[in-house]
Structure 1
């Protein structure tokens, strides 16, 4: 599967390293705003052994049509900014290129544009594309459905220089139908990212916690998305859409669990 990566900041570089090490994808190119590093090899720059081309281009060098014509890809992975979709939307749609966007926040007009192109191509948008965070969100929604009377608080921790409230924390609050005021923010040192959801029961507390140890976690999420988005119909997808089928046990799995799990009272 040939992929192109847009955005080459700290997260984009971490994702590129994971893509280069994967045998399931082929990184054709990286696109960025700056002309610095133009025409450098991504494997050489990152110190990753790879036979993939992975050349770096600037957005000013090609139009999207020219880029896709000279260096065709099956999937675009966007880690740039909210404006990145303006560059590739029309050209990607015309060529049937799948889009995976990991932009943390879009204004309404950009979300509308994503929805429009999703009528013609598969598009996945996830503000936080790590597997752990998206599993945590599903688990939190299940727990809230089981016990809607609990007190719920969200804590997010990030590096000291991060000014705004985490977009992922806001997404968690939205998923749980909570106000942004339920989010508690901590800024300290070089914390990459921690999100914790606290469920306060009358006589017990449940804490769901996810910590990003390195930005390569976003690359693992991208690989999962690539594997599970292939063959999907046109439409706008979330990571939850891709993860939910894994929550349904097939008949064999269900029989195994029932056979090997005793009711708690039989242990007494």
Structure 2
């Protein structure tokens, strides 16, 4: 699958390295706001051995329509900012390019625009596109449905300089019907990101915990997304939509070994 990336910050670079190393995708290009690094090769810049073009372009160089016409891709991956959609959204839909957005904070108007674009092409949005976090969210919802009487706490840990409460933690809290103000935050050292959901039963405790070790985890999520969006009809999808089919396990009774 040919892909392009919008945005080349810390996370965009980490995702690009994962895509370059994968045999499932071919990185055609990266688009960034700045003209710095223009026409550089992403593999060469990141020090990754790859024959993929991965050319860096600036938004000023081409319109999105020109970009998709000259360098066709099957999917565009957005790790830029909320305004990035203004650059490529309509052109992607016109060219039938799948949109995979990993922007964490969209205004309601921008989300509405994403939904509108999904009538013309395949669109997926995930504020945190790691497989682990989205698995955690589904598992937490299932556990709360099984045992709605449990005490629930959401704890998030991040690097010392991060001031605001984690956006992912807010999503977890809202998903579980909790007040955002109840989130417990820890700030220390260079922690990239830890999210934990604690379920307090009367006689047992269940902890669901996810830890981001490096930003490459977002790249793994992108690979999962583009692979599972293949062949999907036009429409709006979430990571939950892609993960839920994997929860339909074929069981043969008790998992306990006999003997």
TM-score (norm 1): 0.94
**Deviates most, 169-178 or 14-23:** 169-178
More helix, by proportion: 1
In 2: Cα distance, 1:119 partner to 1:177 partner: 30
2:256 paired with 1:261: yes
In 1: Cα distance, 2:99 partner to 2:37 partner: 25
In 2: Cα distance, 1:79 partner to 1:164 partner: 20
RMSD over aligned CA atoms reads 1.2
3-state SS of the aligned residue for 1:249?
coil
Name the CA shift for 1:198/1:62 in 2 (closer, same or farther; >3 Å).
Answer: same
Q: Which residue of 2 aligns with 1:16?
A: 16
Q: Which residue of 1 aligns with 2:144?
A: 144
- Give the number of aligned pairs: 259
3-state SS of the aligned residue for 1:112?
helix
Q: Which residue of 2 aligns with 1:26?
A: 26
Structure 2 counterparts to residues 84-233 of structure 1, below 5 A: 84-233=84-233
Q: How big is the shift at 1:108?
A: 0.6
Q: How big is the shift at 1:261?
A: 3.1
TM-score (norm 2): 0.97
In 1: Cα distance, 2:197 partner to 2:92 partner: 38
Could you tell me which runs of 5 or more consecutive residues in structure 1 were left unpaired when the two chains were aligned.
none
Q: How big is the shift at 1:35?
A: 1.1
**Deviates most, 157-166 or 241-250:** 157-166
Q: Which residue of 2 aligns with 1:60?
A: 60
Q: How big is the shift at 1:259?
A: 6.9
Could you tell me which runs of 5 or more consecutive residues in structure 2 were left unpaired when the two chains were aligned.
none
